[in-house]
Amino acid sequence: MIYFPRSYPAGTTERWSSETKGRLLDYHTSQGRQRAFLQGSLNDPHHLWIVCGGNGTVALDWSDWLREHAPREDAYLLFDMPGYGDCGGKPNPSRIRESLQAVVPKAMAEVSLANQPERLRFFGHSLGAAVVMMAAGEFGIQRGVILSPFTSTMDMAREITGLPVGFLVWHRFDNMARLDDLERRGPGMVVIVHGADDEVIPAAMGRELADAHPDTCQFIEVPGARHNTIPESDPEVIVKALEAAGR
């Protein structure tokens, strides 16, 4: 119920390379060959954003949106979980962490930001929000944007079933705990954007994350927006959030 992997149709990555002049990042983990994507300003950018979409998407679903809307002076690492896109294997939290540990330093070196973690930022949607919060913990990233996040997969189990079955969830992602960790590391800024009419993850979860971390989090609720509609219906809200977290 957590993962809905998709692969890229033939020719997708070739078209992406031609249109964006981006770079393919191939690497290996215990799950075999993995692939991520770098696009944007790749010659000493202001920031490098780790970007991950939700459970039914692949990394390149965000490519056009980033090209049209995101800060042009930054670079973007579009990350697929194992089993998604052109990545082999199957996802779980430890395998996702292994992939992040392998690819983020590689991406930093590619854009001349090696040993500069203060210039890393994160941006994730839905399950991807939990992935980039995991990256924040691994690399000490203190600023970013999360779109339509849950508090934890254990809480989502209760939300979906109406029963206290969180203890049965083996694949545990906990954004509340990751924000606790971020605050313990020092000052930070996380902008949480959530649709008021989100039919998948209730906006109350995003608000709960922000309320528990008032010194770190800013909560923006988008009237009328659903789980997947904000990038198209209200792109300016996300753009302002990226600009604020990028400063």
Domain containing residue 209: CATH number: 3.40.50.1820
- Tell me the three state secondary structure of residue 221: strand
Confidence label for 161 from pLDDT (cuts 50, 70 and 90): low
pLDDT tops 50 at residue 163: no
What is the DSSP annotation of 172-219?
--BHHHHHHHHHHH---EEEEEEETT-SSS-HHHHHHHHHT-TTTEEE
pTM score = 0.93
Averaged pLDDT, 215-224: 98
pLDDT digits (tens, 9 = 90+) for 44-79: 899 999 999 998 899 999 999 999 999 999 999 999
Q: Which pLDDT value is given to residue 170?
A: 54
Give the DSSP H or E segment for 76.
strand 75-78
Residue 76 belongs to domain spanning: 12-246
- Residue 102 maps to a domain: yes
- Residue 7 maps to a domain: no
Q: Which pLDDT value is given to residue 162?
A: 56
pLDDT tops 60 at residue 152: yes
- Residue 198 maps to a domain: yes
Give the separation between CA 65 and CA 239, rounded to whole angstroms.
Answer: 10
pLDDT tops 50 at residue 166: no
pLDDT tops 60 at residue 164: no
- Residue 124 maps to a domain: yes
- Residue 187 maps to a domain: yes
Q: Which pLDDT value is given to residue 55?
A: 86
Give the separation between CA 64 and CA 150, rounded to whole angstroms.
Answer: 25
Interacting residues of 128 by C-beta distance below 8 A, sequence separation 6+: 51, 52, 53, 54, 57
pLDDT digits (tens, 9 = 90+) for 73-112: 999 999 999 999 999 999 999 999 999 999 999 999 999 9
Averaged pLDDT, 153-173: 60
Averaged pLDDT, 113-128: 96
Give the DSSP H or E segment for 124.
strand 120-125
pLDDT over 90, % of the chain? 88
Confidence label for 154 from pLDDT (cuts 50, 70 and 90): confident
pLDDT digits (tens, 9 = 90+) for 184-209: 999 999 999 999 999 999 999 999 99
Q: Which pLDDT value is given to residue 160?
A: 63
Confidence label for 171 from pLDDT (cuts 50, 70 and 90): low
- Residue 51 maps to a domain: yes
Give the DSSP H or E segment for 134.
helix 127-139
- Residue 1 maps to a domain: no
- Residue 2 maps to a domain: no
pLDDT tops 60 at residue 168: no
Q: Which pLDDT value is given to residue 151?
A: 96
Question: What's the structural domain count of the chain?
Answer: 1
